[in-house]
Structure 1
Amino acid sequence: MVVDGVQVSLGLWDTAGQEDYDRLRPLSYPQTDVFLICYSVASPSSFENVTSKWYPEIKHHCPDAPIILVGTKIDLREDRETISVLAEQGLSALKREQGQKLANKIRAVKYMECSALTQRGLKQVFDEAVRAVLRPEPLKRRQRKCVVM
């Protein structure tokens, strides 16, 4: 694929969320250039898994790799059946603002949304993943405090 005039080869690893793979999944992490942590905007539990499972696991194994947080299935925000099923559980689809707030919290380099069904935002997600590698944000210097006694 070509991003900003640069030809790149993109390799994707869908590491699956099944517990059966919990011990094997981190073996695919070394040399990963960028992580896309995805959650469904129609699944509050997948949103919660970002902070309870995916972010801690990635930070443990690849603390310096950039992360892009991706809200998926955005077409379901307007799907009557999905809205009804969520409402029956006292829930609603997650809003873009909630995703952006979480992206800020986990210090993701970007927050994106897409729909594989309609293709809306899909190419942009992968373009931004490539940009995160080709033009990484400079690491912010940590303030170090020195105490002399």
Structure 2
Amino acid sequence: MSATPNSPNTPSLGVSGPNTPATPSTPVPRIERPKSVKCVVVGDGAVGKVGKTCILHVYANNTFPEEYIPTVFENYSTSVIVEGKSVNLGLWDTADYDRLRPLSYPGTNVFLLCFSIIAPSSFENVTKKWIGEIRQFSGEHVPILLIGTKKDLGNDPEITEMLLSKGHAPITPAQGELLKKEIGAVKYMECSALHNVGVKEVFNEAIRTSLYGVTRRRIKATCSIL
């Protein structure tokens, strides 16, 4: 198809010739691409199960999985609005296999490092295993949120009695705060996947931390899934 010159009745496109006075053109609005956030969830599986897969399932589907779900949650992507801006949020679960798990780490923007409030071994493994692995494969710059899961069971009398009989006790918020400082995490938070308490807040904080960094993480931004 050949281009045809403008006729006298053809509207100008804002391009001037050598003898034509320049006419102001309307600036084309710049389209801002949505930012992307990769959020990886880590923590004990098997014996010290922290329920990280359930947390992801509840956030993605807004319901607790009553039936069996696979140990590893399929990677999930959704659009989230943060302070009026669109964000592509990618959620990554991690495998229990030590050789495979680090394959999920490259490109991570924020980690959720989880332990169960009623599983002291998972709390101990934050320093014994997880923080070292994260720093080894992702460096020192990626922010970490420390998450205490199964908050609803922390005050359960039967579970407390069972733990006390073994010389343990549920992990307290004060212990979580101390561990946060020890490992250099951005923040300590607690949640319950079973009752969907604090789950959305955990991921909202992860998004804000990734986008704005540590110094602005306390901005009261609203995050909503599209």
Match of residue 99 from structure 2: 23
Letter in 2 for 1:47: F
Q: C-alpha separation between the residues in 2 aligned to 1:6 and 1:75?
A: 33
For normalisation by structure 2, the TM-score amounts to 0.57
Match of residue 189 from structure 2: 112
Deviating beyond 6 angstroms after TM superposition, the runs of 4 or more aligned structure 1 residues are none
Q: Deviations over 1:78-116 (max 9, x none)?
A: 212211211111211000010010001111111111110
Q: C-alpha separation between the residues in 2 aligned to 1:6 and 1:112?
A: 25
Letter in 1 for 2:170: A
Structure 1 unaligned segments of length 5 or more: list them.
139-149
> Which of 174, 178, 190 matches 1:97?
174
Q: C-alpha separation between the residues in 2 aligned to 1:12 and 1:112?
A: 18
Match of residue 14 from structure 1: 93
| Larger Rg belongs to | 2
Match of residue 112 from structure 2: 36
Q: Deviations over 1:128-148 (max 9, x none)?
A: 10011110126xxxxxxxxxx
Q: C-alpha separation between the residues in 2 aligned to 1:124 and 1:26?
A: 26
Give the CA deviation at 1:42: 0.4
Q: C-alpha separation between the residues in 2 aligned to 1:117 and 1:4?
A: 29
Alignment of 1:62-77 (within 5 A): 62-63=138-139, 64-77=141-154
Q: C-alpha separation between the residues in 1 aligned to 2:115 and 2:83?
A: 27
Match of residue 130 from structure 2: 54
SS at match of 1:30: coil
Q: Deviations over 1:12-40 (max 9, x none)?
A: 11113x3xx10111111000110000000
Does residue 2 of structure 1 match 2:81? yes
Q: C-alpha separation between the residues in 2 aligned to 1:3 and 1:78?
A: 34
SS at match of 1:119: coil
Instruction: Give the aligned CA root-mean-square deviation in angstroms.
Output: 1.2
For normalisation by structure 1, the TM-score amounts to 0.86
Structure 2 unaligned segments of length 5 or more: list them.
1-79, 216-226
> Which of 184, 195, 202 matches 1:125?
202
- Which has the larger share of helix? 1
Change (3 A) 1:81 1:27: same
Letter in 2 for 1:8: V
- Percent identity over the alignment? 53
Letter in 1 for 2:177: Q
